Amino acid sequence: MSDVHASLRSPLVTGDKTISDVTRDICAPMDRKPTALWWSAFGLSLTALIVGVAAVWYQIATGIGTWGLNKTVGWAFDITNFVFWVGIGHAGTLISAVLFLFRQKWRTAVNRSAEAMTLFAVMCAGIFPLIHMGRPWLAFWMMPYPNTRGPLWVNFKSPLLWDVFAISTYLAISAVFWYVGLLPDLATIRDRSEPGWRKRITSILCLGWNGSARTWLRYETVYLLLAGLATPLVFSVHTIVSMDFATAVIPGWHTTIFPPYFVAGAIFSGLAMVLTLMIIARKVMQLEDYITMTHIDRMCKLMMSMGCIVGLAYGTEFFMAFYSGNGYEQFVFKNRALGPFAWAYWTMVSCNVLIPQLLWSRKLRSTLPVVFVIVILVNVGMWFERFVIIVTSLHRDFLPSSWASYAPTSIEIATFVGSFGLFFTCFLIFCRIAPVIAIAEIKGAAHLKKRPPAESITEEKAA
């Protein structure tokens, strides 16, 4: 297959690499001692994580009142962050599973880190519904389990319960998918490692991978099946998250467009986050030959198209409010655009709809700093999208007597920062202990040079 590589397309791996070059390059960060840059990034993330843990501890010890919520705005930062992180967690499965099914070979450079990102993002997301509860120590009541309370069960009508199932399933499948994808690379690490703790751990983790054709065959089958299984989850998770709002009666939440709108938004934000991480990683870890400008270009195109879908959704919402003739509905949307939280709304629109339009230009797409700024802005914009949906719908609903305002407290901000701390701490550790690029897959996908015989001998010796 690799022989009929179309020369019209730019190569997936540049730099004239041999197969062993690939292995060496990708494994290099794991073999090196951590750089000062890594240490400083890790220190920063860990500090943020500690701040977050302290905030969560304080909030659980003192009460949810330490958040800026009130009787009218019952959710704000908590669910905004939850949806934000779930959204980011989306790109992983999309890139791994959906693009895999569509045989998009360029995905091989980014899928590993995208999957890891998914895992960490879903972890971050999962924390918020847990800690936003008034009594988080009773969170297990959300699980349907046999109990001594007679007929008391859980409420299968509640979207929050669907959330519990959707998120936990997604987390489980993502974790398995990521781990299965890691197997051949773990074996590579095992083979490359000097006898020691790393070898011992990886030989357990790689489940006795021996590189035989039978192993590969089974691996490919499992991977394909998992990809097939994971694909519907890309749609189900955010559809269900959107139903937290869509099934409510609050104007601004009660809309049927939410499922596709949320899925598009999630993919959009997920791609933005993958790009953010990849741009940093390729620079810091010297992987420019593997994550090439072609990758970035394609990701940008995908992101831009998603941005357009999101923009269409924004427009549709307004049109539906106008067309419904429902005064409450119309008010909510007018209030979004012109009310006290108009700044958040316009931040959202400019970051998510207007700014991505710059990516129509090939020149800008190939200018890394510009792309980086744009993806950061998209991340910001997508956070604000959730904030706008949640807070502006709640803060002024049916009865003007109960209208209220909302402002986050230091505890909420610290918790939010802490979730980034968790995410980046996990990601930085991941970069150190596992190959950020799927070595086996990229070898299969990219058109590589034949390896010189001499080198192959040395490598076998090392193994």
Question: Which residues in this chain contact other proteins in the complex, by CB under 8 A?
Answer: 58, 62-66, 68-72, 74-75, 129, 132-136, 138-139, 141-142, 147-155, 157-161, 164, 244, 247-250, 327-328, 330-331, 334-335, 338-339, 394, 396-405, 409-411
In angstroms, give the least distance from the CB of 347 to other proteins.
Answer: 18
Would you say 158 or 294 has its CB closer to other proteins?
A: 158
Q: Which is nearer to other proteins, 68 or 444 (CB)?
A: 68
Task: For the CB of residue 124, give the shortest distance to other proteins in the complex, in Å.
Answer: 19
Separation between Cα atoms, residue 193 and residue 6, nearest integer Å? 36
Does residue 460 contact residue 18 with C-beta atoms inside 8 Å? no
Provide the residue type at 117 as one letter. M
Helix and strand numbers (H, E) in the chain are 18, 0
Which two tokens mark 225?
Answer: 């099946």
Q: How far apart are CA 16 and CA 264, in angstroms?
A: 37
Choice between 195 and 400, CB closer to other proteins: 400
Amino acid letter, residue 56:
V
Residue 295 vs 395, nearer CB to other proteins: 395
Minimum CB–partner distance for residue 57 and other proteins (Å): 12
Q: How far is the CB of 337 from other proteins (least distance, A)?
A: 8
CA 347 to chain CA centroid, nearest Å:
21
**Gap between the terminal Cα atoms of the chain:** 27
Bridge partner residues of 162 (DSSP): none
Distance of closest approach, residue 72 Cβ to other proteins, in angstroms: 6
Q: Which residues are within 8 A (CB) of 156 and not within 5 positions of it... i.e. 6 or more apart?
A: none
Nearer to other proteins by Cβ, of 148 and 212: the residue is 148
Instruction: Provide CB contacts within 8 A for 286, sequence distance 6+.
Output: 25, 28
Are 174 and 118 in contact by the 8 Å Cβ rule? The answer is yes
Overall size of the chain counted in residues: 463
User: Measured from the CB atom, is 154 or 358 closer to other proteins?
Assistant: 154
Residue 19 Cβ vs other proteins, minimum distance, rounded to whole Å: 52
Least distance from C-beta 322 to other proteins, angstroms?
Answer: 9
With beta carbons less than 8 A apart as the criterion, state whether 257 and 317 touch: yes
Residue closer to other proteins, measured from CB, 156 or 197: 156
